[in-house]
Structure 1
Amino acid sequence: MDLRNLTSASNSVLFMDLKYIIKEQALPFLPAKSLFRFLAVCRDWKLHISTPSFHHNQSLCCRGISGLFCQAPENPPVFVPIHPESCGVPDPSLSFLPEPVEIRASSNGVLCCQGRNEDKYYYLCNPVTKQWKKLPKPTASHGSKPALGLIFEPSLLNSVPEYKLICAFQSTDFDDATEFEIYSSKNNSWNVSDAICFGDEKADLGSGVHVNGVVYWPVESDHILCFDLTKDRSQFQRSITDGIDCLLGTFDGRLCKVYISGNEVRVRVSKVLNIPTITWDESDMWEDTLELDSDVTFIPLDDDYIDTRAVAVSRDILVAVSENEFYCYDFEDQKTNTLSRPEPAESESDYEICVPYVNSLVSL
Structure 2
Amino acid sequence: MDRGKKLTNFYGNKNSKIYMDLKDIVRENALRYLPAKSLFRCFGVCRDWKHLISTPFFAHNQSNSFQSVSGFFYQSQAGVPSFMSLDPVAYGVPDPSLKFLPEPVDIRSSCKGLLCCQGRTGYKAYYVCNPVTKQWEKLPKPDADHGSDPAVVLVFEPSLLNFTADYKLVCAFPSELDGYEFEIYSSEKRSWIISREICFSERKLMPKSGIHVNGTVYWQMMGFGITAFDLISERFQLLDSAVGTLGMRNGKLCSAYVHAQNLVVNMLSNTHSNTMQMNSHAKMWEEMQPKIHVDISLPASSNNNASGRYGYGHGGVVFIGGDVVLLSNGNKFYSYDMKKRASKDLGELDIDTKAGIVGYVNSLVEL
TM above 0.5, yes or no, is yes
* Residue aligning to 1:196: 198
* Residue aligning to 1:141: 145
* Residue aligning to 1:288: 287
- Does 2:217 align with 1:215? yes
Structure 1 residues 224 and 39, CA gap change in structure 2 (3 angstroms): same
Which of residues 271, 278, 284 in structure 1 aligns to 2:269?
271
Q: CA deviation at 1:132?
A: 0.7
- Does 2:39 align with 1:39? no
* Residue aligning to 1:131: 135
* Residue aligning to 2:95: 91
State the Cα deviation string for residues 250-288 of structure 1 (Å, max 9, x = none). Answer: 11111111134565432111236xx46995799622211
Q: What SS class does the counterpart of residue 195 from structure 1 fall into?
A: strand
Distance in 1 (alpha carbons) for counterparts of 2:144 and 2:78: 25
Which of residues 337, 347, 353 in structure 1 aligns to 2:344?
337
* Residue aligning to 1:259: 257
TM-score (norm 1): 0.87
Q: CA deviation at 1:309?
A: 3.2
Q: CA deviation at 1:119?
A: 1.4
Q: How many residues align?
A: 349
**Structure 1 contact 248–258 (Cα < 8 Å) conserved:** yes
Q: What SS class does the counterpart of residue 137 from structure 1 fall into?
A: coil
Distance in 2 (alpha carbons) for counterparts of 1:12 and 1:342: 55
State the Cα deviation string for residues 93-137 of structure 1 (Å, max 9, x = none). Answer: 101111111000000000000011131100001001111110000
Distance in 2 (alpha carbons) for counterparts of 1:283 and 1:97: 49
Structure 1 residues 342 and 13, CA gap change in structure 2 (3 angstroms): farther
More moved, 226-235 vs 330-339: 330-339
Distance in 2 (alpha carbons) for counterparts of 1:37 and 1:282: 54
Distance in 2 (alpha carbons) for counterparts of 1:278 and 1:55: 44
**Structure 1 contact 235–277 (Cα < 8 Å) conserved:** no
Structure 1 residues 33 and 217, CA gap change in structure 2 (3 angstroms): same
Q: CA deviation at 1:340?
A: 4.2
**Structure 2 contact 298–328 (Cα < 8 Å) conserved:** no
Distance in 1 (alpha carbons) for counterparts of 2:282 and 2:343: 30
What is the letter of the counterpart of residue 342 of structure 2?
A: K
State the Cα deviation string for residues 4-28 of structure 1 (Å, max 9, x = none). Answer: 7759965986762533331122111
* Residue aligning to 2:360: 357
After TM superposition, list the pairs within 5 Å mapping 1:167-246 onto structure 2.
Answer: 167-171=171-175, 173-175=176-178, 177-241=179-243, 246=244
What is the letter of the counterpart of residue 215 of structure 2?
A: G
What is the letter of the counterpart of residue 60 of structure 2?
A: H
TM-score (norm 2): 0.86
Structure 1 residues 340 and 36, CA gap change in structure 2 (3 angstroms): farther
Structure 1 residues 107 and 279, CA gap change in structure 2 (3 angstroms): farther
More moved, 8-17 vs 99-108: 8-17
Q: Superposition RMSD on alpha carbons, in Å?
A: 2.9
Distance in 2 (alpha carbons) for counterparts of 1:351 and 1:204: 12
**Structure 2 contact 334–347 (Cα < 8 Å) conserved:** no
Identity %: 46
* Residue aligning to 1:104: 108
Structure 1 residues 51 and 271, CA gap change in structure 2 (3 angstroms): same
Structure 1 residues 353 and 291, CA gap change in structure 2 (3 angstroms): farther
What is the letter of the counterpart of residue 203 of structure 2?
A: E
**Structure 2 contact 335–346 (Cα < 8 Å) conserved:** yes
Distance in 1 (alpha carbons) for counterparts of 2:30 and 2:281: 41
Structure 1 residues 123 and 331, CA gap change in structure 2 (3 angstroms): same
Bigger helix fraction: 1
Q: CA deviation at 1:221?
A: 1.9
Q: CA deviation at 1:72?
A: 3.6
**Structure 2 contact 205–219 (Cα < 8 Å) conserved:** no
- Does 2:72 align with 1:68? yes
Structure 1 residues 8 and 327, CA gap change in structure 2 (3 angstroms): farther
* Residue aligning to 1:29: 33
What is the letter of the counterpart of residue 105 of structure 1?
A: S
State the Cα deviation string for residues 171-228 of structure 1 (Å, max 9, x = none). Answer: 1x212x0100000001111000000001133333333211111111122222111001
Distance in 2 (alpha carbons) for counterparts of 1:158 and 1:279: 38
* Residue aligning to 1:315: 322
Structure 1 residues 11 and 298, CA gap change in structure 2 (3 angstroms): farther
Q: CA deviation at 1:291?
A: 6.8
**Structure 1 contact 297–329 (Cα < 8 Å) conserved:** no
Q: What SS class does the counterpart of residue 266 from structure 1 fall into?
A: strand
What is the letter of the counterpart of residue 29 of structure 2?
A: Q
Structure 1 residues 3 and 130, CA gap change in structure 2 (3 angstroms): farther
Q: Which has the larger radius of gyration?
A: 2
Q: What SS class does the counterpart of residue 66 from structure 1 fall into?
A: strand
Distance in 2 (alpha carbons) for counterparts of 1:20 and 1:88: 26
